[in-house]
Amino acid sequence: AYKRFSELLPKEERENACSARVPKSQILTLPELRANPFQHRICRVFSTSYDGDDSMSFEDFLDMLSVFSDSATSDIKSHYAFRIFDFDDDGTLDRKDLEKLVNCLTGQGEESRLSNAEMEQLIQNILEESDIDKDGTINLSEFQHVISRSPDFASSFKIVL
Amino acid sequence: PEETRAAAPVDFLQELPSYQSALRRRAAAGGTQGRRAAPQGSAGLRAAEARGPEQEGGELAARPAREYPLSIAEKRRLRDCQQADIEYLSGWKQWKRTSSKSLKKVLGEVKELLSYLELWRHDIRSIEGKFGTGIQSYFSFLRFLVLLNFVIFILMFSFVTLPTIISEYGIFNSSFTKIPPKNIEPHCTVYKPSGNKGLVYFYTYLKDLLSGTGFLEVTSLFYGYYTIDAAWLSILRYNLPLAYLLATFAYLALSLLWIIKRSGEGFKQSLVHDEDQFQSYCNKVFAGWDFCITDPNAAQLKHRSLQYELQTDLEEERLKRKIADRTMKEKLRIYSLRIFINIIVIAVLSGCFYSIYRATVFSQENSNDISNTNFQANLLVQYLPSMVITLANFIAPQIFSFLIRFEDYSPAFEIRLTLMRCIFVRLANIGVLLFSLWSQISYCATEKCKACGYNYELYPCWESEVGQEMYKLMIFDFIIILAVTLFVDFPRKLLVTHCSCKPVQWCGLQEFGISDNVLEIIYGQTICWIGTFFSPLLPAIATIKYFIIFYVKKISLMHTRKPAARPIRASSSNFFFLVVLLIGLILAFIPLGISIAHIPSSKACGPFRSFNTSWAVIPDTILGFPTGLQQVLHGIASEAFAVPFFMVICLVMFYFIALAGAHKRVVEQLREQLVMESRDKLFLIRKITEAQRH
C-alpha cells in the first residue's frame, strides 16, 4: 500500500511520503477509484485536510483501505457508506441525497438518468422500505438496519489493491 | 405552517436525548466539521470512553480500536487511552486483556496465512476486478466443486481402492480372502471381461479409453475389480464390502453437509423476513455499485445495467398493479393459454425422454454385438445416449425461452420459470437414462434369468456397465465443453474482430451466461455422484475435469466474452447455485437407493457377490455383533422407536415455527410503534411551539 501511495507523489516528495499530502486530482488516478462514481465523496469523507481541498495523507489512505478491506466489520462499512452517500453532509439521507445517489449509480449523461416519474417511484419505494419512523429521511440507525438485511453489501463494498 | 414546522424541530429536536446521542456519536466519528478541531476530537474520545463503561459496567472491556469508525489519528489516541486505563486494572485482568489481544493477533495472522494456500486466489481476484462479483461467484463455485470432488476421491480411494491394492500385492504382509462361493446357480457367475490379449490395433486402446471397455474394464476404475471379501493385515480383518457401502454413504452425507453449510448464509436472511431480499430496492441502490470494478469499460456497463435493472423493476411494479386490475375475461384467457403452453412443455419433455430411452436401448443392443468391428461406428453407437442427452439439453432451453414469451408473466418470474424448467430437463434426462438402462438389465424372459434376478447373458456384471455409461457421459460432457470453447468461441471472436460486416457485428461477442454454465457443471457433478458407487475412481476424473475447465473458462472469459448486460447479483447467485446443487444431490439419492437396495447385485463380479442386494451386507454385519448391541439396533429400527421419534421431531419443528411466527409479529408491532412514536413526537413539538407563541 505504501508503494502505491508513494507512486502517486511527484518524484521529489517520495522520500517523506509518510507526511506528504496528495492532492485530490492525483488520488483520482488510482485505478480502483478511477471508475468509481463515488470518487469525490470518498475523497471528501476520508480526507482530514484542514483546507477542505480533499487531499489525502498516507494515514487517510490507509484509513480508506482499511474500511474497504475484507476484515472491516459491517458496522464500520455501513457507517462510512452512510457518510459517503450523504451528499449534503447533514447527517441524514433525504430525498435530494437519494436522488443524487441514484443518478451516480445510473451514470453521468442525460440519457442515462431515470425520468422524473421513475425517480419519484423509486425514492418512494426506498423510503417505504427503510424509513422506519416515517419522517421522510433515513438516519444512521435506519441505514444500518437496512444494510444489515442486505445480502449484497458485504461483497460489493470492498476494494482490493 | 411549513416554516414553523421546520423551525420547531430545529429548536426542540436538538434538545431531545436521542438527537444528542446521535450528535455525540457523529462527533466521536469526527464529523466533517468536527475533525479539524482537536478539542472536538477529544470530546469524541471521551464519548467513546463514556460508552465503554456504560456498556460493560465495571469491567472496561472496550472493543478493539479497529471496530470504531474513527480516523487513524483518533484511533491512536483511543488506543493510548485504553492503554492508560489498563494500568488501573488488577494484575489478573491486565494479563487477560493482553493475552486476548495477542491471541486475536495470532489468529488473524494464521487466517491470513491460510488464505494464501487457497487455490486460485489471485485468478479469482482478477476476474472479480474485471467482471464483477456475479461472475466471480461462478468461479468460486467451480473451485468449491474441485475441492469437494477431491475430498470424495480421497475418501473412496483410502477406504476402498487402497486396501484392495495393498492386499492384492501383498504389501505390508497383508493377504486377502476371496468371496466364498455360495449356492447360487453356476451360470450366474460366469464373467469374462475381455481384457486385451495379444496384439491389438492401437485404436482399440483409444476406443477403450473413451468408452471404458476392454482394458479399462478390469482396472480398479470399475466396480468389477473389487472381488475381495476381506483383507487381512496381520490379525486385523478389513471387511471390504461393508467398507464399500459405508464409503458410499459417507461421501453422500459429506456432500450434503458441506453444501448445506455453505448455503447457510443466504438461507438465514430469507427465513426471517417476508420480502424477497435480493429484489428489494434498498439492496439494489445501497449495495448496487460494485466497488471492486477497476476497468472504465466495465464501469460503463455496470452503470447501464444498473439503470436497466432499476427501470425494469419499476416497470414490473407498474405491471403488477396492472395485473391486479385484470378483468375476469382476460384472466380466463390467460390461464387457458398457460395451460395450453404447459401441455406443450410436457409434450416436449416426453419427446426428450422417449428419444433418450430409444437411444439407450439401441446403443445397448448394438454395442453388445461384438462382430461389429468398425471403429467409428462402434464408438458412435457407444456414445449415442450421451449425444442425445447433450442435444436435448441444448434444444429444450431454447424452446422454453421461446414459449414463455406467450405466457405473459412478469419478467423476473419468466426467468425463474425458464430456469426451473431447464434444471428439470437436465436432471430428469439422467434419470431417464438410468431407468432405461435398468429396464434393459432387469428384463428377464427365461427361467434361468429369473433365478439370477437380472439379465446375466448380456450383463454378467451390470454395475460395471452402469459405471461405464456414467464414465462415457462424463468424458463426453468434458469433450463438448472443450469443443464449444475451441470451435465456437475463439472463431467467433476472430470473426467479430476482423470482419466488420453488419450481420457479424450484430451477432457480436457472446456474453458469459452464468446460469447455462452453472447448469452444465451441476449436470456433470450429479453424474459424478451417481457414478461413484459404480466406479470408485470417477471423482478423480471429475476433479481433473473441473480443474481443466476452470482454466478453459477463464481464458475464454478473458479473451472472448463481453461482460453481461444484465449481470446477476453475487449473493443471489451463490444461493441459487447451491440450491440447484442440492436438488441434484437429492435426485442422485434416488437411483443410488434403488440400485443398492432393490436391484439384485451381480453374482459374477464385485464385492457383493454373496449377498442378494448390496444393502444386504449391513444386516449381515449386524448379525455378527454381540446380542446386546443387536437388540439395541433392532430396537432403533423398529416401529416402537421410530413413531415416537418422528412425533417428537414434528413437535420440535412446530415449536420453532410458532416461535418464528411470534417473533415476526413482535417485529411488526414494534415497527408500528416506532412510526407512532415519531408522529407523536412531531405532534407534541408542534403543540409546544403553538403554546409557546401564545
Query: d(Cα B316, Cα B229) in Å, to the nearest integer?
Result: 64
**End-to-end CA distance of chain B, in Å?**
15
Q: Which ranges of B198-280 would DSSP assign to H, the alpha helix?
A: 202-211, 240-272
> Has residue B564 been placed in a domain?
no
Check CB contact of B116 with chain A, cutoff 8 Å. no
Which parts of chain B sit beneath pLDDT 50? 1-8, 29-62, 271-275
Which positions 314-343 of B are in contact with A (Cβ < 8 Å)? 314, 317
| Whether B170 and B223 share a structural domain | yes
| Whether A29 and A79 share a structural domain | no
Residue A149 lies in domain: 74-157
| Whether B268 and B164 share a structural domain | yes
Count of all residues that appear for chain A in the document? 161
> Has residue B395 been placed in a domain?
no
Contacts of B244 (CB under 8 A, 6+ apart): B159, B160, B226, B536, B607, B608
Using CB atoms, pick whichever of B26, B282, B570 lies closest to residue A146. B282
- Distances in Å between the Cα of B4 and the Cα atoms of A137, B7, B692 are 19, 5, 12
What is the mean predicted confidence (pLDDT) over A53-65? Answer: 77
| Whether A82 and A150 share a structural domain | yes
pTM above 0.90, yes or no: no
Query: β-strands B228-233, B174-178: how paired?
Result: antiparallel
Beta bridge partners, A22, equal: A56
| Whether B139 and B172 share a structural domain | yes
Domain C-terminal end among A34, A68, A102: A68
Q: What is the CATH number of the domain that holds A128?
A: 1.10.238.10
Contact B375, B203 (CB under 8 A): yes
Contact B472, B383 (CB under 8 A): yes
Give B-chain residues touching A75 at CB under 8 angstroms. 67, 69
The torsion of the CA quartet B459, B463, B469, B470, rounded to 10 degrees, works out to 180
Contact A129, B281 (CB under 8 A): yes
Query: d(Cα A47, Cα A61) in Å, to the nearest integer?
Result: 8
Query: d(Cα B587, Cα B584) in Å, to the nearest integer?
Result: 5
Check CB contact of B34 with chain A, cutoff 8 Å. no
Domain C-terminal end among A24, A49, A68: A68
B36 CA: distance to closest CA in chain A (Å): 6
| Whether A148 and A79 share a structural domain | yes
| Whether A78 and A153 share a structural domain | yes
| Whether A8 and A62 share a structural domain | yes
| Whether A80 and A151 share a structural domain | yes
Beta bridge partners, B232, equal: B175, B237
> Has residue B153 been placed in a domain?
yes
Contact B97, B89 (CB under 8 A): yes
- Distances in Å between the Cα of B192 and the Cα atoms of A34, B81, B218, B438 are 69, 83, 10, 21
User: What pLDDT sits at residue A76?
Assistant: 84
Which positions 92-151 of A are in contact with B (Cβ < 8 Å)? 98, 101-102, 104-107, 112, 114, 118, 121-122, 125-126, 129-130, 132-135, 139-140, 143, 146-147, 149-151
pLDDT in tens, B390-447: 888 888 888 888 888 888 777 667 777 888 888 888 888 888 888 888 888 877 777 7
Dig out the grid coordinates for B321 from the structure: 398493479
For residue B492, count other CB atoms closer than 10 A to its CB.
17
Give B-chain residues touching A60 at CB under 8 angstroms. 71-72
User: Which residue, among B186, B660, B260, has the nearest Cα to B451 in the 3D structure?
Assistant: B186
Q: Is the dihedral of CA B647, B649, B650, B651 positive or negative?
A: positive
What is the mean predicted confidence (pLDDT) over A41-63? Answer: 76
Chain Cα centroid distance, residue B200: 44
Domain C-terminal end among B90, B111, B131: B131
Q: Is the dihedral of CA B201, B202, B207, B208 positive or negative?
A: positive
Using CB atoms, pick whichever of B133, B300, B678 lies closest to residue A156. B133
| Whether A91 and A110 share a structural domain | yes
Query: d(Cα B431, Cα B423) in Å, to the nearest integer?
Result: 13
Kind plus residue range of the DSSP H or E element containing B239: strand B236-239
Contact A30, A36 (CB under 8 A): no
Check CB contact of B53 with chain A, cutoff 8 Å. no
Which positions 6-25 of A are in contact with B (Cβ < 8 Å)? none
Contact B591, B437 (CB under 8 A): no
Query: d(Cα B672, Cα A137) in Å, to the nearest integer?
Result: 17
Residue B539 lies in domain: 133-275+458-491+518-559+572-623
Measured N-to-C along each axis, helices B570-597 and B514-534 cross at an angle, to the nearest 10 degrees, of 20
| Whether A58 and A101 share a structural domain | no
Give B-chain residues touching A80 at CB under 8 angstroms. 69
| Whether B464 and B609 share a structural domain | yes
Dig out the grid coordinates for B459 from the structure: 450383463
Query: d(Cα A96, Cα A85) in Å, to the nearest integer?
Result: 11
Average pLDDT across chain B, whole number: 77
Q: Which ranges of B453-537 would DSSP assign to H, the alpha helix?
A: 462-484, 490-498, 502-507, 514-534
| Whether A87 and A49 share a structural domain | no
| Whether B211 and B144 share a structural domain | yes
Domain C-terminal end among A9, A41, A68: A68
In this predicted structure, the answer to whether residue A58 has a pLDDT above a threshold of 80 is no
CB contact under 8 A, A153 and B278: no
Query: d(Cα B426, Cα B389) in Å, to the nearest integer?
Result: 8
| Whether B149 and B190 share a structural domain | yes
User: What pLDDT sits at residue B47?
Assistant: 39
Query: d(Cα B522, Cα B511) in Å, to the nearest integer?
Result: 20
CB contact under 8 A, B289 and A71: no
Using CB atoms, pick whichever of A63, A73, A156 lies closest to residue B67. A73
User: What pLDDT sits at residue B166?
Assistant: 80
CB pairs under 8 A between A and B: 175
**How many domains are contained in chain B?**
4
Check CB contact of B308 with chain A, cutoff 8 Å. no
User: Which residue, among B475, B534, B282, has the nearest Cα to A150 in the 3D structure?
Assistant: B282
Place of cell 437436465: B426
Kind plus residue range of the DSSP H or E element containing B229: strand B228-233
Query: d(Cα B287, Cα A81) in Å, to the nearest integer?
Result: 9
Contacts of A102 (CB under 8 A, 6+ apart): A114, A119, A122, A123, B285, B310
Using CB atoms, pick whichever of A35, A129, A133 lies closest to residue B294. A35
User: Which residue, among B453, B424, B455, has the nearest Cα to B437 in the 3D structure?
Assistant: B455
Using CB atoms, pick whichever of B22, B269, B678 lies closest to residue A149. B269
User: Which residue, among B495, B505, B115, B200, has the nearest Cα to B373 in the 3D structure?
Assistant: B200
For residue B135, count other CB atoms closer than 10 A to its CB.
25
Confidence of residue A156 (pLDDT cuts 50, 70, 90): confident
| Whether B554 and B652 share a structural domain | no
- Distances in Å between the Cα of B418 and the Cα atoms of B134, B309, B396, B431, B520 are 20, 19, 10, 20, 15
3-state helix, strand, coil in chain B (%, to 5): 75, 5, 20
B679 CA: distance to closest CA in chain A (Å): 8
| Whether A46 and A32 share a structural domain | yes
A42 CA: distance to closest CA in chain B (Å): 11
| Whether B188 and B255 share a structural domain | yes
| Whether A48 and A100 share a structural domain | no
Query: d(Cα B292, Cα A36) in Å, to the nearest integer?
Result: 9
Q: Which ranges of B57-177 would DSSP assign to H, the alpha helix?
A: 72-86, 91-117, 121-131, 133-156, 162-168
For residue A121, count other CB atoms closer than 10 A to its CB.
19
**How many domains are contained in chain A?**
2
> Has residue B92 been placed in a domain?
no
| Whether B224 and B310 share a structural domain | no
Give A-chain residues touching B299 at CB under 8 angstroms. 35-37
Give B-chain residues touching A72 at CB under 8 angstroms. 66
Using CB atoms, pick whichever of A32, A126, A140 lies closest to residue B285. A126
| Whether B102 and B243 share a structural domain | no
| Whether B540 and B592 share a structural domain | yes
> Has residue B363 been placed in a domain?
no
> Has residue B586 been placed in a domain?
yes
| Whether B610 and B580 share a structural domain | yes
Using CB atoms, pick whichever of A83, A105, A122 lies closest to residue B314. A122
Degrees (nearest 5) of the Cα angle B619, B622, B626?
Answer: 155
> Has residue B628 been placed in a domain?
no
User: What pLDDT sits at residue B539?
Assistant: 92
For residue B265, count other CB atoms closer than 10 A to its CB.
14
| Whether A15 and A39 share a structural domain | yes
Query: d(Cα B650, Cα B653) in Å, to the nearest integer?
Result: 5
> Has residue B53 been placed in a domain?
no
Check CB contact of A69 with chain B, cutoff 8 Å. no
